[in-house]
Amino acid sequence: MLAKLHDVPFDDPNWIYEIKWDGYRAIAEVSKERTRLYSRNGLSLSEDYPAIFEELKKIKKEVVLDGEIVALDKDGKPSFQLIQQYEQRGEAPICYYVFDCLSVGGKSTEGTPLLERKKILKTLLPDSDLVKYCDHIEERGKDFFALVKKQGLEGMIAKRADSVYKEATRSADWLKVKNMIMEEAVIAGYTEPGGSRRYFGALVLGLYKKGKLVYIGHTGTGFNEKTLKDVYNKLQPLKTKESPFGVKVPLNGAVTWVKPKLVCNLKYAEVTQGGTRRHPVFMGLRIDKAPEEVHEEIRDNDSAEDHKEKDKQVTMEATKSISGKKLAFTHLDKVFWPDEGYTKGDVIDYYNTMYPHIIKYMKDRPESLLRMPNGLADKGFFHKDAGLNAPDWVKHIALYSESANKDVNYIICNDKPTLLYLANLGCIEMNPWNSRLKHLDNPDYLVMDIDPSERNTFEKVTETANVIKEILDKAGAVSFPKTSGATGIHVYVPLGAKYNYDQAKEFAHVVAAMTQQQLPEFTSLERSLSKRGKDNIYIDYLQNRKGQTLSCAYSLRPKPGATVSTPLEWKEVKKGLHPSDFTIKNIMKRIEKKGDLFGGVLLKGIDMMKCLKKLDTPVP
């Protein structure tokens, strides 16, 4: 994946920023069978950089990595000139800075959002001075670029945080902002040396435009005696009588033309109106670029001013004030459901309209964020500590997570701006806790999650739901069903926050066990699919644990058809019902007709002890 040129640094919460390394781009493939290290044009680098090659073998998993091999000067800064010396004499410290992970365990990660790929990458690399993780900062591109300039580095790479990896594509999802004007050039010839200088006077340079080599100037600076000799020797087998430009170029004196096979790095002050480079300086030969690849750099805009105006227009179109809070909506036209054509903008519009109905099931509850910035194109990722990066008006709370073994900052969605902020993050579905802030250890309801295996029909799901209802009715416990929006049904029982999670789980376990006894042919309490088999419905009572979440009522689901988790009347839970009946297109008409069928889950809860006695079950 390649980056387009961008004129100025910028701040954006949806972007990350990395150092632009001044070295050789390199792909590493590591597996038990063999390890490879090669350039963009497929040239093997394993013999040139054996220390890095051997270090890569320490990686324990089968991976494909993307990064840059750099030589470091005495201050630890990358130097392209030093990498030439390393090739020739093995001098200067080197390092392979890895910034992306394209495959793990034989499975491609290219469709995974960038930030998630980098999280995966960080866990894979050895603790090494030769192979290092390329870190980044988020949002603060201007401050980062100021540090890049202060350190005298070549520039920075800005990358859209949710971007996927696009092989062999120069994408506007990756942008390079240069501190120094650097580019590659094709060597087309050389002039005679003057005075005491040996070998040649200057290199004649070009690049390709529309398939033709175009003259961009010549350089006689940046050489020492050794590099003069080395470049001269490499040019001798390439000498030719014909100019590779095809037209006369503005050069005085004799020129020895060469076949355009060698590529060099060039640093210069500016481009003149005639297209030549002013004050060009030779920075070294490149072994990782083919001449045909050396084109004038593609910009993501026509000019700096055009881009600023374009950015301004996009911001004006995508920024809205919601309840006094400014939200910048991004990628509104990105297609989330390829078959149906629904976009990210449709998701945001849906939650904007659904807000009065869904907020009561989200308010004051920690949110577990499943972000799917590419829609159904990949599985998405769970965003931990989401509250830390949210705008200051977004409420959040730090809660200890046993699985993470640390405090996690959960977002609390109490208003429309926060709901739409979550939708803009790519949260297609909303997953709140069962308990609220005032009583986090006591859920407002318990849930029976009817989760079918792939061979179960939905008719079996509705049959299971009705048996659960019969048991709850016998216990005197009111219940409320809704579709999961995927393949199952959720049955909720209000508790009124009178019982803790353990008590809720035990009651749900009793109901689940009694249901399984009545339907032993196709239900199971075995969580593991491999153990329960593909013919059995799982009655999941373990959803009643602190921190467990399910998609709430009226949540969209990232499923074909853009289905919605929809509250039901019990009389609807019968043969012929299917979650695909309720979608982003028709749910509002249903609410207008039937109203909110789910409000009872937030009212007075059951008396669990009386219910257990009616079921002839010992009180836990």
Q: What is the DSSP string of 187-227?
A: EEEEEPP-TT--S-S-EEEEEEETTEEEEEEEE--S--HHH
Q: Which of 14-18, 173-177, 300-304 has the lowest mean pLDDT?
A: 300-304
- The mean per-residue pLDDT over the stretch 481-493 comes to 96
Would you state the pLDDT for residue 404?
Answer: 65
Would you state the pLDDT for residue 388?
Answer: 80
- The mean per-residue pLDDT over the stretch 84-88 comes to 60
Positive or negative: CA dihedral 41, 47, 49, 55 = positive
Would you state the pLDDT for residue 91?
Answer: 61
Structure confidence by residue, pLDDT tens digits, 241-267: 999 998 888 776 789 999 999 999 988
The amino acid sitting at 565 is: S
C-alpha triplet 598, 599, 605: angle, nearest 5°: 105
What is the DSSP code (8-state) at residue 299? B
Structure confidence by residue, pLDDT tens digits, 66-81: 999 998 888 888 887 7
Between 221 and 480, name the one with better pLDDT.
480
CB atoms closer than 10 angstroms to residue 466: 17
Residue 303 has pLDDT above 50, yes or no: no
Residue 309 has pLDDT above 60, yes or no: no
| This prediction's pTM | 0.52
Between 486 and 183, name the one with better pLDDT.
486
Between 413 and 326, name the one with better pLDDT.
413
- The mean per-residue pLDDT over the stretch 567-593 comes to 94
Provide the angle, in degrees to the nearest 10, between the axes of the packed helices 501-518 and 458-475.
120
Residue 133 has pLDDT above 90, yes or no: yes
Q: How far apart are CA 154 and CA 160, in angstroms?
A: 20
Residue 306 has pLDDT above 80, yes or no: no
Q: Do the Cβ atoms of 282 and 221 come closer than 8 Å?
A: yes
Reported as a pLDDT band with limits 50, 70 and 90, residue 403 is low
Farthest CA pair distance, the chain: 108
Would you state the pLDDT for residue 582?
Answer: 96
513 dihedral zone (left: phi>0; alpha: psi -120 to 50; beta): alpha
- The mean per-residue pLDDT over the stretch 317-336 comes to 79
Closest Cα partner for 357 from 601, 581, 554? 554
Q: Do the Cβ atoms of 232 and 200 come closer than 8 Å?
A: yes
Positive or negative: CA dihedral 84, 86, 89, 93 = positive
Reported as a pLDDT band with limits 50, 70 and 90, residue 538 is very high
Q: How far apart are CA 359 and CA 347, in angstroms?
A: 16
Would you state the pLDDT for residue 278?
Answer: 77
Using a pLDDT cut of 70, give the percent of the chain over it: 93
Structure confidence by residue, pLDDT tens digits, 424-447: 999 999 999 999 999 999 999 999
Positive or negative: CA dihedral 44, 49, 50, 55 = negative
Q: Do the Cβ atoms of 132 and 76 come closer than 8 Å?
A: no
Residue 125 has pLDDT above 70, yes or no: yes
- The mean per-residue pLDDT over the stretch 6-31 comes to 91
Would you state the pLDDT for residue 87?
Answer: 55
Reported as a pLDDT band with limits 50, 70 and 90, residue 277 is confident
Residue 257 CA, chain-centre distance (Å), reads 48
Residue 396 has pLDDT above 80, yes or no: yes
Closest Cα partner for 479 from 593, 603, 620, 612? 603
Q: How far apart are CA 221 and CA 203, in angstroms?
A: 9
Between 246 and 457, name the one with better pLDDT.
457
Q: Across the chain, what does the average pLDDT equal?
A: 88
Residue 334 has pLDDT above 90, yes or no: no
Would you state the pLDDT for residue 81?
Answer: 72
Residue 297 has pLDDT above 80, yes or no: no
- The mean per-residue pLDDT over the stretch 336-349 comes to 89
Q: Do the Cβ atoms of 499 and 582 come closer than 8 Å?
A: no
Provide the angle, in degrees to the nearest 10, between the axes of the packed helices 225-235 and 80-89.
70
Reported as a pLDDT band with limits 50, 70 and 90, residue 89 is low
- The mean per-residue pLDDT over the stretch 2-28 comes to 91
Using a pLDDT cut of 90, give the percent of the chain over it: 62
Domains within the chain, CATH numbers bracketed: 2-175 (3.30.470.30), 182-293 (2.40.50.140), 326-432 (3.90.920.10), 438-620 (3.90.920.10)
Would you state the pLDDT for residue 229?
Answer: 93
Would you state the pLDDT for residue 312?
Answer: 38
User: Containing H/E element for 15?
Assistant: strand 12-19
Structure confidence by residue, pLDDT tens digits, 492-523: 999 999 999 999 999 999 999 999 999 999 99
Residue 273 has pLDDT above 80, yes or no: no
- The mean per-residue pLDDT over the stretch 164-188 comes to 87
Positive or negative: CA dihedral 333, 335, 336, 342 = positive
Closest Cα partner for 599 from 352, 435, 360? 360
The residues, ordered by sequence, that sit 6+ positions from 37 with a Cβ below 8 Å of its Cβ are: 26, 27, 28, 29, 44, 45, 46, 49, 52, 53, 56
- The mean per-residue pLDDT over the stretch 210-215 comes to 88
C-alpha triplet 573, 574, 576: angle, nearest 5°: 115
Most confident of 137-146, 357-366, 381-390: 357-366
Q: Do the Cβ atoms of 264 and 203 come closer than 8 Å?
A: yes
Structure confidence by residue, pLDDT tens digits, 162-173: 999 988 788 889
Between 479 and 312, name the one with better pLDDT.
479
Give residue for tokens 């802030």. 437
Give residue for tokens 């590419």. 374
